[in-house]
Amino acid sequence: MALLTVVVAFIFLAVAEYVARTQRKFHSETMRKTVHIVAGCVVATWPFYFPWWMIGLLGLAALVVIAISLQYKTFHSIYGVNRRSIGEILFAVTIGLLAFLAGNRWIFAAAMLHLGLADGLAAIIGVKYGKRNRYKLLGYYKSWVGTATFFAVSAIIMIAYAAVTHSHDFTLLASVPLLTTLVENFAVAGTDNLLVPLMVAGMLKFF
């Protein structure tokens, strides 16, 4: 199962790279965030069959691969963005940090799903439907539909987390979508890739 997820991830990256290079009709941000979603969902499953130390090493390996890709423009599907962002680097850094800080596979999964699924879907829907409802924050454009998508997906993730962990702290579970949506808005230049999942992990672990 562990090997299968890694193989599937590499196959998907190869397909995404082919599409990014040959099909110009696809918006670069949409393609980049699609890779972001798949990667986040795959990594979210890692604690269920990898030990924590191995996840940390895989995060380090991802950091090296992404750094090389950004330096030499190897993968169009992950660096095709027209604004200044360190999001891809922080994505890999976050994997390593969560491996050492989460301490619980469900907390790790919830944090990574915020990073991959909530953030990715918010960006894709924002690009497609957010042109007429944009607002500017700290020099970056956001959209109300994208923000609403992030909040909704975060709420769904927390409902699922409560179901599998039998958590009854509804104040905490309700506050996570609110606070992470706020942080996602103010954490610009890709820093939300670090701050949002660490906030999720910290809140679920310590509160």
Six-digit token pair at 148? Answer: 């609403």
- Tell whether the model's pLDDT for residue 156 goes beyond 90: yes
pTM: 0.88
- The mean pLDDT of the chain is 85
- The closest of 44, 66, 37 to 150, measured between CA atoms, is 37
- Average pLDDT (50-73) is 87
Predicted pLDDT at 9: 59
Residue 36 vs residue 23, higher pLDDT: 36
Instruction: Look at residue 198 in the predicted model and tell me its pLDDT.
Output: 97
- Measured CA to CA, the distance from residue 198 to residue 184 in angstroms comes to 12
Q: How many CA atoms lie within 13 A of 126 on its CB side?
A: 21
Interacting residues of 127 by C-beta distance below 8 A, sequence separation 6+: 27, 29, 30, 146
Neighbours of 136 (CB within 10 A): 8
Q: What is the pLDDT of residue 35?
A: 83
Sign of CA dihedral 139, 143, 146, 150: positive
pLDDT of residue 149: 98
